Homo-oligomer: A and B are copies of this chain.
Amino acid sequence: MDRIKVIEVHEDVRANNDRAAEALRQRLHDKKTMLINLMSSPGSGKTTLLGATLDRLTGEMNIGVMEADVDSDVDAYTVQRHGARAVQLHTGGMCHLDAAMCEQGLRELGIEGIDLVFLENVGNLICPAEFDTGATRKVMILSAPEGHDKPLKYPLMFEVSDVVIVSKMDVAEYFDFSLEEFERNVRERNPHATIMPLSAKTGEGMQQWIDWLRGEVAAWQE
């Protein structure tokens, strides 16, 4: 078998918004509001997971949601029905959010008295990984149908995430998704991320996620 040629093609687009993100994070800490940057591919089940999460935590804490999309506002209506305060961010074609965009969203949402805000980032495994939004924690979702090889192909997203959720575990077998191989692939890039396999449809694995959220909010508000 011939060796495959590998060609490195380059371009520099990274913008530095680290300072703005750090200032926002500090301000959120002062307000005792925790912000989670939720990232994934399109169609990985972010909104479904959020709905199931809200069903379990509404009443116990005040939750806000910022739904970012290139277009449409279907997701914001969905999470609002689950009891969260919600705003929709339109990025006008942009593939990610930065700290300034996140801040605009928080201003519109209002964070007074809000314990936890989810930023549902644009569906994209590449660009959002490069930008600090000011969030307290980065959580990414990979759905089982996407395949266990994805940490090899989108390494930065797996490197920067504190939690890696594997969604749609109820169909893992049909798609030959190996959790063991996936974990090995994640570990090559990120030895510290917490990996949480779950299914919002069957409820399997949801408890670990909910308990993790409770613990993180409590620690942030101390």
Residues of A within 8 A of B (CB): 1-2, 4-11, 13-14, 41-43, 69-74, 76-77, 80-81, 86-95, 97-98, 100-101, 104-105, 108-109, 122-127, 130, 143, 145-147, 149-150, 152-156, 168, 171, 174
Copies of this chain: 2
Which listed residue, B2, B69, B149, B156, touches A74 by the CB 8 Å rule? B149
On whether A73 and B105 interact (CB within 8 A), knowing A10-B94, A95-B126, the answer reads no
Are B124 and A2 touching (Cβ within 8 A)?
A: no
Which listed residue, B4, B71, B147, B155, touches A76 by the CB 8 Å rule? B4
CA distance A101 to B77 in the complex (A): 40
Residues in B whose Cβ lies below 8 Å from that of A10: 91-92, 94
Residues in B whose Cβ lies below 8 Å from that of A88: 4-7
Are B42 and A154 touching (Cβ within 8 A)?
A: yes
What are 5 sample pairs from A and B whose C-beta atoms fall under 8 A apart? A2-B80, A8-B92, A9-B97, A42-B125, A71-B153
